């Protein structure tokens, strides 16, 4: 069996589990407690915060630990928009993760916000000109993801953030899928807020972080004991924070070389799939894309059926984003890119972590060809 659904989730790395273990057992304390048991937990949390800050190139005080990418996105979108007195207008795209889209929708429904969705090209890119045209004097927040979870397109975030800043508008990016593949230096990206999630990079599900620049006002979503400097109440998930920091450090070591090797393997895989399954068309941008994602449409088939045929051949993939799993709807991302609904329903996404070799990927292509023929034969 080969697991090619890393964009949905990844296994916990052994080093990460070992780093967490003390904080689940001996150093189990509550970091707010004023005794030695609490203090050792507080030290672990502080070290984890410093580790995540080093990963993101920010101050430790600018890191807020959350329960994952969804919460980080919710806190960024609602927390920044509600705290900003400039107005009630949001700029984003239709290819964002649901955590951003539904947060924006809530601001519209409950708080009288309006939203402008910047058009997205067929290859998944947002044009800086279109983005600039959407910004208004009453825009309180712009949010554009760094890398898309379905098609893998990587956006020109630094350019977009600079345009927002020219107008004094805070800029958030969802970097959940970019983590582990791209450097996440918030200074170089020029963003004011950035979301990450542990389970995409070898930490457990249920932990993430939001970077928010010190000068950006933030309305908390969770009220209570005032943890995380009052920005996110709730007893801290110390072991989770340690896991996130450890996974971040492991994923940063040798990042460029690993990403380059994976990109070469990806390109060979894409060519092999297109040879094995004529008619297969890669979605997303041909070059500005994640090294570990290749998503195709296979016109004349059905993505779910291809997925099942692939699983019978030992290949685990996804028919879209697992975050929307259970829904029979065509991918909102592919529809936003302009794919007709019947073609969008033929999508299959392959995504992998750095541990998957070029040889393993290459060996999958014939199975893709067989699966597509099996389904197309049935359909025909
Ligand atoms: N943002 C993106 C781009 C994602 O791909 C995901 C999950 O797949 C999330 C946010 C949500 O993260 P989490 O599963 O940690 O809530």
pLDDT digits (tens, 9 = 90+) for 263-272: 999 999 999 9
Q: Among 7, 10, 70, which is best to mutate for testing ligand 1, by the most ligand atoms less than 8 A from CB?
A: 70
Between the CA of 17 and the centroid of ligand 1 the distance, in Å, is 21
The stretch 88-92 carries a mean pLDDT of: 98
Claim to verify: residue 211 and residue 261 sit in the same structural domain: no
Q: E strand or H helix at 313, and its extent?
A: none
Residues 79, 42 within the same domain: yes
How distant is the alpha carbon of residue 376 from its chain centre?
A: 32
Per residue in 295-312, pLDDT tens? Answer: 999 999 999 999 999 999
279 and 245: one domain?
no
The answer on 246 and 278 residing in a single domain is: no
Does the pLDDT value for residue 344 go beyond 60? yes
pLDDT of residue 380: 54
Number of domains in the chain: 2
Q: Find the mean pLDDT for residues 41-55.
A: 98
How much is the pLDDT for 325?
47
Q: Do 228 and 98 belong to one domain?
A: yes
Residue whose C-alpha is closest to residue 324's, from 297, 304, 354, 301: 304
Residue 328 has pLDDT above 90, yes or no: no
Q: Is the CB of 323 under 6 A from ligand 1?
A: yes
Question: Are 304 and 217 part of one and the same domain?
Answer: no
> Active-site residue numbers?
323
Q: What pLDDT was estimated at residue 327?
A: 53
pLDDT of residue 377: 84
Ligand 1 nearest atom to the CA of residue 70, by list position: 16
Phi-psi sector, 168: left (phi>0), alpha (psi -120 to 50), beta: left
Same domain, yes or no: 304 and 203: no
Residue 204 DSSP class: P
Nearest protein CA to atom 13 of ligand 1, as residue: 69
Shared domain for 191 and 229, answered yes or no, is yes
Residue 137 Cα to ligand 1 midpoint, Å, equals 30
Answer whether 331 contacts ligand 1 (Cβ < 6 A).
Answer: no
Q: Are residues 306 and 171 in the same domain?
A: no
DSSP strand pairing (139-143 vs 171-174)? parallel
Residues 116 and 152 placed together within one structural domain of the fold: yes
The string of pLDDT tens digits covering residues 154-206 is 999 999 999 999 999 999 999 999 999 999 999 999 999 999 999 999 999 99
CA atoms within 13 A on the CB side of 51: 22
pLDDT computed for residue 28 by the predictor: 96
120-137 average pLDDT score: 98
Query: Which DSSP string corresponds to 239-278?
Result: HHHHHHHHHHHHHHTTHHHHHHHHHHHHHHHHHHHHHHST
Q: Out of 252, 272, 300, pick the residue that ends a domain.
A: 252
Question: Which pLDDT value is given to residue 319?
Answer: 87
Cβ of 70 closer than 6 Å to ligand 1, yes or no, is: yes
How far, in Å, CA of 311 to CA of 347, rounded? Answer: 15
The CATH number assigned to the domain holding 264 equals 3.90.1150.10
The CATH number assigned to the domain holding 216 equals: 3.40.640.10
Return d(Cα 295, Cα 310) in angstroms, integer: 14
Domain with 177 in it: 14-252
**Which of 76, 176, 177 is the best mutation target for the ligand 1 pocket, counting ligand atoms within 8 Å of the beta carbon and taking the most?**
176
Output the average pLDDT for the chain.
96
CB of 204 sitting under 6 A from ligand 1: no
Query: Do 178 and 273 share a domain, yes or no?
Result: no
Domain stop point among 195, 225, 252: 252
DSSP lists the bridge partners of residue 196 as: 209
Domain boundary among 252, 283, 308: 252
236 lines ligand 1 (CB under 6 A): no
279-308: average pLDDT: 97
Expressed in angstroms and rounded, the spacing between residue 70 Cα and the centre of ligand 1 is: 6
Q: Of 97-101, 208-212, 313-317, 319-323, where does mean pLDDT reach its minimum? A: 319-323
Is 292's C-beta closer than 6 angstroms to any atom of ligand 1? no
What pLDDT is stored for residue 40 in this prediction? 97
Is the pLDDT confidence value at 322 over 70? no
Residue 323 Cα to ligand 1 midpoint, Å, equals 7
175 and 264 housed in the same domain:
no
Which pLDDT belongs to residue 107? 98
């Amino acid at each position: 069996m080969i697991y090619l659904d890393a964009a949905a989730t990844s296994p916990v790395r052994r080093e990460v589990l070992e780093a967490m273990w003390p904080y689940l057992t001996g150093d189990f304390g509550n970091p707010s407690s004023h005794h030695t048991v609490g203090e050792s937990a507080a030290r672990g949390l502080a070290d984890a915060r410093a580790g995540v800050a080093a990963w993101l190139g920010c101050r430790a005080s600018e890191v807020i630990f959350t329960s994952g990418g969804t919460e980080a996105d919710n806190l960024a979108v609602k927390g920044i928009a509600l705290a900003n007195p400039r107005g009630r207008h949001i700029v984003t795209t239709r290819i964002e993760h649901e955590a951003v889209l539904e947060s924006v929708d809530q601001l519209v429904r409950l708080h009288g916000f309006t939203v402008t969705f910047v058009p997205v090209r067929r290859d998944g890119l947002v044009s800086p000109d279109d983005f600039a045209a959407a910004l208004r004097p009453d825009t309180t927040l712009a949010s554009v993801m760094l890398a898309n979870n379905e098609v893998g397109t990587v956006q020109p975030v630094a350019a977009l953030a600079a345009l927002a800043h020219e107008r004094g508008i805070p800029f958030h990016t969802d970097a959940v899928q970019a983590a582990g593949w791209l450097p996440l230096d918030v200074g170089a990206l020029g963003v004011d807020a950035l979301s990450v999630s542990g389970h995409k990079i070898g930490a457990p599900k249920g932990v993430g972080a939001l970077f928010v620049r010190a000068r950006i006002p933030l309305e908390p979503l969770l009220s209570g004991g005032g943890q995380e400097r009052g920005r996110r109440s709730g007893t801290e998930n110390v072991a989770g924070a340690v896991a996130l920091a450890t996974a971040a450090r492991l994923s940063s070591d040798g990042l460029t070389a690993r990403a380059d090797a994976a990109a070469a393997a990806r390109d060979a895989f894409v060519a092999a799939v297109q040879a094995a399954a004529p008619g297969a068309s890669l979605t997303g941008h041909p070059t500005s894309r994640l090294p570990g994602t290749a998503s195709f449409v296979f016109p004349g088939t059905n993505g779910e059926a291809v997925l099942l045929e692939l699983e019978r051949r030992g290949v685990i993939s996804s028919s879209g984003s697992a975050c929307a799993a259970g829904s029979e709807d065509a991918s909102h991302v592919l529809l936003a890119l302009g794919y007709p609904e019947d073609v969008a329903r033929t999508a299959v996404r392959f995504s992998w972590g750095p541990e998957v070799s070029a040889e393993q990927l290459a060996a999958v292509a014939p199975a893709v060809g067989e699966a597509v023929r099996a389904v197309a034969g049935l359909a025909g």
